[in-house]
Chains A and B, each alone.
Chain A
């Protein structure tokens, strides 16, 4: 496939490279894991096949050979050679056909799976582009050619179009389990954290979802936290007191206290689709 329009940020992503955090290697991988997995299922790919993750304004590619694709994640207009095509369903492209993945509306990140998967070289078992560490395939630009692997044994399912799931429109609600360093903050701060409105900051990226517009957390203890291991979904609080939710490209260790953790899965998938300016609340996670 030839990239004609790369969009604001399009990367190759798969299930990431867990298991190497002790060597300083982030997990990386698709941010909206549910949408990514669905895209692969729709083209009959095995779980873990590499796909494109777009940001806000989609991507346009030309198929250099016949191929089946599927677009999921943030809802968007899908066009093949200018004509409307199905979103959330397998779409067949003849050689030379152009697929245009339009602007996300609502949401942020769309996934384009290709039958056979993208065949960029794997690094430590993964084809994910890790923007923090610079591992994995380069970020595609207009003119990049994306190799496609051979199709797997599973057929393209005869699925009906699926409904978009998990894209927050009015507000992003993130369940938070306090700890491990909640005791670095005042009790009043913790209560405020779980009862206040924040907004998604435009400084958010694949490394973290930054917040703004809400109360800063006050610490009961000063000093620095010696660097410690960070998990996906950790909510780190830098000196400005505004929580940052760690997403897939987050650093493996960090030196700011983690007030709580948002569980991976549906909640972080929604965080991956939250646009800057969207309202955001943290609520206590169920035990």
Chain B
């Protein structure tokens, strides 16, 4: 674990794996709720780091963090959201071929994975979901689509995601959902917040 000072009032805490980010993020939220992080304004997990923004004394906090023991995350920690999905994406055939399975087997394969929202970015409510086994990692498309429909279930590299609204995108589209990923009038606004666990269930399946 390494801490890097960012400007006058922020810190990046860097670890080696997505799993360590998840554990560190949970630990930071625990300590913030316990009042140990002062008035930290933002706790922003990402791929290999957690950013703390709005830190009054970054140097002092960095020194404290260096002495922490971060417990690994329990398997079933975090709320679980089930998202109904139709496996009808334009890249479904390509994904199935890359995985060496029939198209109808994709639903079962993906449905068997409990994903975890590692971090958000790109657009409000867009979560980067980890949990995809390495043999299912797919490259981004060579040419990004200019418009990916809202609700598309997409894969790229180690991540899965669902587009909260129509936007350009280069991920592989394997399905779609009617779930509302982002609604600022709702509490919580984001269905996929960091730490939430996600299971994709085939729509219409019993």
Contact = CB atoms under 8 A, between A and B. Distances in A.
A253 B119 contact: yes
Interface string A201-214: 00000000000000
Interface in A114-151: 123-124, 133-135
Contacts of A21: 42, 44, 51, 53
Contacts, number: 107
Contact of A23 (B4, B8, B189): B189
B41 A24 contact: no
A253 B184 contact: no
A20 B193 CA distance: 10
Contacts of B50: 229
A229 B184 contact: no
Given A229-B46, A229-B51, A23 B12 contact: no
A21 B188 CA distance: 14
B48 A226 contact: yes
B139 to A, nearest CB: 14
B190 A24 contact: yes
Interface stretch (B90-98, B121-129, B143-151): B121-129
A179 B6 contact: yes
A34 B110 CA distance: 51
Interface string B24-58: 00000000000000000111111111110110000
A14 to B, nearest CB: 15
B184 A226 contact: no
B168 to A, nearest CB: 13
A215 interface: no
A23 B195 CA distance: 11
B156 interface: no
Nearest to A176: B7
Interface in A258-285: 258, 261-263
Interface residues of A, number: 32
Contacts of B128: 227
A229 B5 contact: no
A124 B189 contact: yes
B21 to A, nearest CB: 10
A179 B194 contact: no
B169 to A, nearest CB: 14
Contacts of B190: 23-24
B41 A135 contact: no
A227 to B, nearest CB: 5
Contacts of A251: 121-122
A18 B41 contact: yes
A227 B21 CA distance: 12
Given A229-B51, A261-B6, 16 more contacts: A18-B41, A20-B189, A21-B42, A22-B194, A23-B189, A24-B125, A24-B127, A25-B124, A135-B184, A228-B49, A229-B50, A229-B53, A234-B7, A252-B121, A253-B122, A261-B8
Q: Give 7 closest A-B pairs by Cβ, nearest first.
A: A229-B51, A261-B7, A226-B47, A229-B44, A253-B121, A180-B4, A24-B120
15 contacts: A19-B41, A22-B193, A24-B124, A123-B184, A179-B6, A180-B4, A181-B4, A226-B46, A227-B128, A228-B46, A228-B49, A229-B50, A231-B10, A233-B7, A262-B7
